[in-house]
């Protein structure tokens, strides 16, 4: 008998057992695999909770959450490309950061629902907190539909969406 057979619950002499013995071995193996899968799932869930609790509490809008939101808005999602007016040289106008304005990109095809003006995000984004988090986590706006193009239908984690909201709200205007 090999070590691998012993590790999976094959008793010595499994080959000589009848069909009842083999079914018992199979059940034992399935139980062990099921237990292992449950243990891995529980471990993963606990690890995720621990990770979320060390991020700075997005729900509270703490400094770590606001920094995370700033990083996502400015370096990942690049919200300023549409939500910040440009100066005469095409550079983002920092004095009007995320205050909304004309969308700088145009579709290359007929798009009837293309947004011409991007809404203000700084201070108080349009919609309730729950609507903003829903938009950022599911890609569904407060109208119950995806947002008008060119707004991408984001699929952020809830924690990231709450951090983005905390950052936007920290930009009081």
Q: Which long-range contacts (CB under 8 A, 24 or more apart) does 2-11 make?
A: 8/32
- Check residue 128 and give its pLDDT: 95
Record the tokens describing residue 35, joined without a space: 């237990």
- Check residue 172 and give its pLDDT: 74
Region 105-111: what's the mean pLDDT? 90
Label the pairing between strands 117-118 and 101-102. antiparallel
- pLDDT at residue 165 is higher than 70: yes
Region 76-91: what's the mean pLDDT? 92
The pLDDT-based confidence of 15 (bands split at 50, 70, 90) is low
pTM exceeds 0.75: no
- Check residue 5 and give its pLDDT: 46
- Check residue 56 and give its pLDDT: 42
- pLDDT at residue 58 is higher than 60: no
Region 116-123: what's the mean pLDDT? 93
Taking a C-beta distance cutoff of 8 angstroms, is the pair 96, 85 a contact? yes
- Check residue 124 and give its pLDDT: 85
- In order, the DSSP letters of 50-107 are HHHHTTT-GGGT-HHHHHHHHHIIIIIS-THHHHS-B-TTS-B-GGGTT--EE-S---
Q: pLDDT of 130-156, one tens digit each?
A: 999 999 999 999 999 999 999 999 999
Tracing tokens 């010595």 back to the chain, one arrives at: 12
The pLDDT-based confidence of 67 (bands split at 50, 70, 90) is very high
The pLDDT-based confidence of 104 (bands split at 50, 70, 90) is confident
């Amino acid at each position: 008998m090999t070590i691998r057979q012993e590790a999976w619950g094959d008793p010595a002499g499994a080959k000589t057992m009848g069909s009842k013995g083999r079914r018992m071995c199979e059940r034992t193996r399935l139980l062990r695999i099921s237990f292992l899968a449950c243990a891995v799932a529980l471990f993963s869930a606990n690890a995720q909770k621990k990770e979320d609790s060390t991020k700075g509490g997005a729900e509270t809008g703490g400094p770590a959450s606001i920094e995370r939101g700033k990083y996502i808005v400015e370096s990942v999602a690049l919200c300023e490309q549409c939500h910040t007016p440009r100066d005469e040289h095409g550079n983002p106008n920092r004095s009007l950061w995320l205050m909304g304005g004309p969308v700088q990109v145009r579709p290359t095809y007929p798009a009837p629902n293309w947004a011409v003006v991007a809404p203000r995000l700084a201070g108080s984004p349009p919609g309730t907190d729950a609507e903003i988090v829903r938009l950022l986590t599911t890609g569904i706006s407060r109208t119950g539909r995806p947002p008008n193009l060119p707004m991408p239908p984001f699929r952020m984690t809830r924690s990231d969406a709450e951090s983005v909201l905390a950052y936007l709200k920290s930009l009081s205007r």
